[in-house]
Amino acid sequence: MMSELKPYDLTGKRVWVAGHRGMVGGAVVRRLQSEGCTVLTAGRNTLDLTRQAPVEEWVAVNKPDAVVVAAAKVGGIMANNSYPADFLYDNLMIETNIIQASFRNNVEKLLFLGSSCIYPKLAPQPMTEDALLTGPLEPTNEWYAIAKIAGIKLCQAYRKQHGCDYISAMPTNLYGIGDNFHPQGSHVLPALMARLHDAKRDKLNEVTIWGTGKPLREFLYVDDLADGLVFLLKNYSGYDHVNIGTGQEVSIRTLAEQVAATVGWQGRFAFDATKPDGSPRKLMDNSKLAKLGWTAKTSLAEGLRLTYEWFLEEGAKGGLRGI
Ligand X SMILES: C[C@H]1O[C@H](OP(=O)(O)OP(=O)(O)OC[C@H]2O[C@@H](n3cnc4c(=O)[nH]c(N)nc43)[C@H](O)[C@@H]2O)[C@@H](O)[C@@H](O)C1=O
User: Under the rule (CB under 6 A), what is the footprint of ligand NDP?
Assistant: 19, 21-25, 44, 48-50, 70-74, 90, 94, 113, 115, 171, 173-174, 180, 187
> From the list ligand X, ligand NDP, none, which binds 275 (C-beta under 5 to 8 Å, kind-based)?
ligand X
Q: Closer to ligand NDP at the Cβ: 20 or 109?
A: 20
**What gap in Å lies between CA 317 and CA 255, rounded to an integer?**
27
Q: Closer to ligand NDP at the Cβ: 122 or 323?
A: 323
DSSP 86: H
Q: How many CB atoms lie within 10 A of CB 309?
A: 12
> From the list ligand X, ligand NDP, none, which binds 278 (C-beta under 5 to 8 Å, kind-based)?
ligand X
> From the list ligand X, ligand NDP, none, which binds 303 (C-beta under 5 to 8 Å, kind-based)?
none
Any known ligand binding at 116? yes
Any known ligand binding at 237? no
Any known ligand binding at 9? no
SS3 243: strand
At its nearest, how many Å lie between ligand NDP and the CB of residue 212? 21
Q: At what angle do helices 84-104 and 52-62 cross, to 10 degrees?
A: 40
Beta strands in 51-205 (DSSP E): 66-69, 109-113, 165-171, 173-175
At its nearest, how many Å lie between ligand X and the CB of residue 14? 30
Contact 311, 196 (CB under 8 A): no
Q: Among residues 83, 119, 144, 166, which one is catalytic?
A: 144
At its nearest, how many Å lie between ligand NDP and the CB of residue 80? 11
Longest Cα–Cα distance of the chain, Å, equals: 61
**What gap in Å lies between CA 122 and CA 234, rounded to an integer?**
33
CA 72 from centroid of its chain's CA atoms: 9
Strand partners, 17: 68
- Clarify whether 144 is annotated catalytic: yes
Q: Closer to ligand NDP at the Cβ: 72 or 207?
A: 72
Any known ligand binding at 104? no
Q: What element of type H or E holds 18?
A: strand 14-18
SS3 120: coil
Residue closest to ligand NDP, measured at CB = 22
Residue closest to ligand X, measured at CB = 76
SS3 198: helix
Query: Can you give the binding site for ligand X, defined by CB under 6 A?
Result: 76-78, 80, 115, 117, 140-141, 144, 173, 186-188, 191-192, 209-211, 215, 217, 252, 275-279
At its nearest, how many Å lie between ligand X and the CB of residue 211? 3
> So which residues are the catalytic ones?
144
